[in-house]
Amino acid sequence: MRAIRRNGYQLLIGENSTELFNYFGVNELHGLSKSKSEQYTDTPESAYIRGMSNLSPKNPNGLPYVFFNKKRLNGTYRDVTNLMHEYLHLSRILFKDINDDNEEEIVQFIEDEVNWIIDNGVIGIFEQPSTKYM
């Protein structure tokens, strides 16, 4: 598991779903089961856990986390939608009071974090955008 401390949260990148259970040293995690994770074969098209954002099961008052399963990533635009999806969940934890006044701040946070991951090659190489419509 690769763990990177970011702006008020922890970014976790695992080789498969089971690594998230191992990282926290638990057999159950937010309603999911380590044994079921071990039985599931993660692929680029399907995974027991594609990604997850939540509070630590060991320390709910500690840093929240966002997890991405590298087996589920496939180097396409769908990886970006996965990142955006999980960061939207994370923003609900980090920005407790979401309203019209801070909507742009939240959207900018999500965009900045996803761009940081892509720009720094944190989870791999993405396909180049098509110039078909440009």
- Residue the block writes with tokens 């995974």: 47
Residue 13 inside a domain? The answer is yes
Q: What is the pLDDT of residues 39-68, one digit of tens each?
A: 999 999 999 999 999 999 888 788 899 999
Beta carbons of 74 and 95 less than 8 angstroms apart: no
Which ranges constitute the DSSP H helices of 27-101? 34-39, 77-94
In the predicted structure, residue 19 carries a pLDDT above the cut 90: yes
pLDDT confidence bin for 134, thresholds 50/70/90: low
pTM across the whole model: 0.87
The count of domains in the chain is 1
Residue 72 inside a domain? The answer is yes
pLDDT of residue 75: 80
pLDDT of residue 77: 83
pLDDT of residue 110: 92
Residues across the chain: 134
pLDDT confidence bin for 32, thresholds 50/70/90: very high
Q: What is the pLDDT of residues 64-117, one digit of tens each?
A: 999 999 999 888 888 889 999 999 999 989 987 767 788 889 999 999 999 998
Residues linked to residue 52 through DSSP beta bridges, in sequence order: 67
Residue 53 inside a domain? The answer is yes
Residue 130 inside a domain? The answer is no
- Cα(13)–Cα(91) distance, integer angstroms: 18
What does 94-120 look like in DSSP terms, one character per residue?
Answer: H-SS--TTTHHHHHHHHHHHHHHHHHT
Residue 7 inside a domain? The answer is yes
Amino acid in position 88: L
- Cα(112)–Cα(54) distance, integer angstroms: 19
Residue 127 inside a domain? The answer is no
Q: Which two tokens stand for residue 21?
A: 């259970």
pLDDT of residue 125: 55
pLDDT of residue 69: 95
Domain housing 41: 2-119
Beta carbons of 12 and 2 less than 8 angstroms apart: yes
